[in-house]
Every structure is written in structure tokens, then in C-alpha cells.
Amino acid sequence: MSNLFDSNSYYLLSSDRYPKGVYLNDGGHNPEDIPAALFLDSKGVSSQNWQVFFQEGVYFLRNYDYGAGYQLALKTAADSKPQLLPSSGDLTQQWNITVWPDGTRKLVNMAVGVFQYLGVSNNSAADIIPVMNTAEDGSHWTFDINSSAGEVSDAMASPMSSIAKATTTAAATSTARSATTPATATESSTTAAPVVASATSKYNSLSGGVIAGIVVGAVALIAFLVAAFLVCSRKRKRARARQHTSSTIPPTVEASKYSDIPSSDGHNKKARTRTNVQGGAVEMA
């Protein structure tokens, strides 16, 4: 991530919900050097000037009145109201600043993650209070350089001695609160997508190759069954034809003929004989 700001300059921070001239501040320098609650107004106090310090890919916001000793932070990841706290490299004091499509800035606390932005509360009628919320309205910030505030001190330009590291980048999620669970879920379904795509690809290859082979085999089987049926049908017809032919031929054939058989009186007598062709029996009359 590249630095979007000049860390040697002071900026005036305004929300898109209110007109220019309404800036984030703590109401003025506290005589005891203890920061007061933050809010937005148009009083024009010195504490409306902020340094945006960039180190190791994250930002730290420091106030003109309190120098490098305090930074904009959350007490815990569960806190919703940012305030000025003693400086450290803890995740609760780190900010990821990116650009909304309209060119304004989006501020995400590294301890909370991308599911909440630095915005303003609309619950207070008297004061405009900065809060962490999920609403985009009021979370578009404009950073204007205030050249009249001069440049930051050498101490504010010095790097932090140590900075806590998030397990993932703020662009994806953070290690804190319930933001961790949704982020993990988002990573699992992504990893699962190639598996689904791989399974779909495998199914498609089966459709093109194996299924075509199955269709060809099925057609061949049907052709074989039809041929077998026709052969059997022809055999049955031939068998019935032979059986019919046999049943129409009589088992015996009778032939009648006459022969001259000499009688006892010496005269030839016409005798009709019936010859059984099959049995060979002869009857005389």
C-alpha cells in the first residue's frame, strides 16, 4: 500500500454528512494534556488539525495539540467510539485508509476489520460524535491540508519502535471480534469454487465420451436383439410349414386294381384286389 498523504502536514477531517467547516476535534487543548472526547464542530480550534502518519502499510492519526504522545484509537476491538489514547503500535491504533468511488476516504480500524467504518453518530442532538458503524452514510471523509498549521514536529515524524501485525490485511479482514468468522467463511467458499468447477468439468467430459459410447453400445444391442428375433421368427414359421405339410399327406394310399385269378372251375374270374401299399395286405372279392 502506498502513502496517500503527506505525513509532514496537518489535515482537516470532515464528514460527507456535514458541510465543509465542520471538522473532527476535541474542543481545544486541555490544560492537563489529557484529551477530551472527540466530536465535530465548526469552532476553528487547533485540535482540528491532524497528522496522518504512514508506517509499514498502515496509518496513525495524531492531533496537533497532543503531538506524538496520543493517537486516534479504540480502547478495545469491541469499542465503538474512537478517542485519543497514549500512542502504541497496537492494532486498535492502526487505520487502513482507502478511497471511496467518489474520491473521499474510507477509514477502517485494523482491530475491527472492513465490516465497520469510522463514521458519525446521528443519535446525539447536541454533538456530532465520531463512531464505528456499518453505515456508509457519514463514513466518507475529506482530508484537506491546512497549510496555516505548519509542519509537524520532528518527534511526530519519527517512526514507531514496533507495530503489531494483523494476521490478514485490513482489505480482507482483521483478527478481532466477530469480523474474523465472516472473513474465514468468505475464504472457504472461494477455496471450494475450483473443487466445484473441477467436478463440473469432469462431468462434462463423461457426457462427451463415455455417454456417447454407451449410446452406440445400446444401439448395437438393440440391433442384435432385433436380428435374433427375426431369425427365431423365421425358424418358427418353417417349423409350422413342415408340420402343416406332414398333416395333409394321408398315412395310407389305397390303390385298386383288377387281376385275373383262375377259379377252381378253371375259368378266369375277374377279381378285384385291394392292395395296401404300406401293409402289403391283399383282399380278394
For 93-133, give the DSSP string. Answer: G-EEEEE-TTS-EEEEETTT-TT-EEEE-SS-SS-B-EEEE
Separation CA 151–CA 53 (nearest Å): 12
Pick the closest to residue 23 from 14, 35, 32, 31 (CA basis): 14
Cell of 82: 474512537
> Would you put residue 138 in left (φ > 0), alpha (ψ -120 to 50) or beta?
left
Q: What is the pLDDT of residue 57?
A: 96
Pick the closest to residue 63 from 53, 74, 75 (CA basis): 53
Q: Measured between alpha carbons, how far is residue 92 from residues 50, 77, 96, 150, 240 in Å?
A: 18, 6, 11, 28, 101
Q: Which residues pair with 231 in a beta bridge?
A: none
Cell of 126: 447536541
Helix then strand then coil, in percent of the chain rounded to 5, is 30, 30, 40
Cell of 46: 487547533
Separation CA 208–CA 218 (nearest Å): 16
Please count the residues of the chain: 285
Q: What is the pLDDT of residue 29?
A: 63
Number of Cβ within a 10 Å radius of residue 86: 11
Q: What is the pLDDT of residue 64?
A: 95
List the domain boundaries for the chain: 11-192, 209-248, 254-284
Separation CA 116–CA 186 (nearest Å): 17
Q: Which residues pair with 131 in a beta bridge?
A: 119
Q: What is the pLDDT of residue 148?
A: 96
Q: What is the pLDDT of residue 244?
A: 61
Q: Which contacts (CB < 8 Å, 24+ apart) does range 114-123 have?
A: 114/170, 114/171, 114/172, 114/173, 114/174, 114/179, 115/179, 115/182, 116/80, 116/179, 118/82, 119/15, 120/15, 120/17, 120/18, 120/40, 122/17
One-letter amino acid for residue 41 of the chain: D
Separation CA 226–CA 222 (nearest Å): 6
Q: What is the pLDDT of residue 210?
A: 58
Q: Which residues pair with 99 in a beta bridge?
A: 105
pTM: 0.59
* pLDDT tens per residue, range 104-129: 999 999 999 988 999 998 765 678 99
Q: Which residue positions in the chain have pLDDT lower than 70?
A: 28-33, 123-125, 168-212, 241, 243-285
SS3 71: strand
Q: What is the pLDDT of residue 181?
A: 33
Check if CATH label 2.40.50.100 holds for domain 11-192. Answer: no
Q: What is the pLDDT of residue 240?
A: 75
Number of Cβ within a 10 Å radius of residue 166: 19
Q: What is the pLDDT of residue 32?
A: 66
Q: What is the pLDDT of residue 235?
A: 80
SS3 273: strand
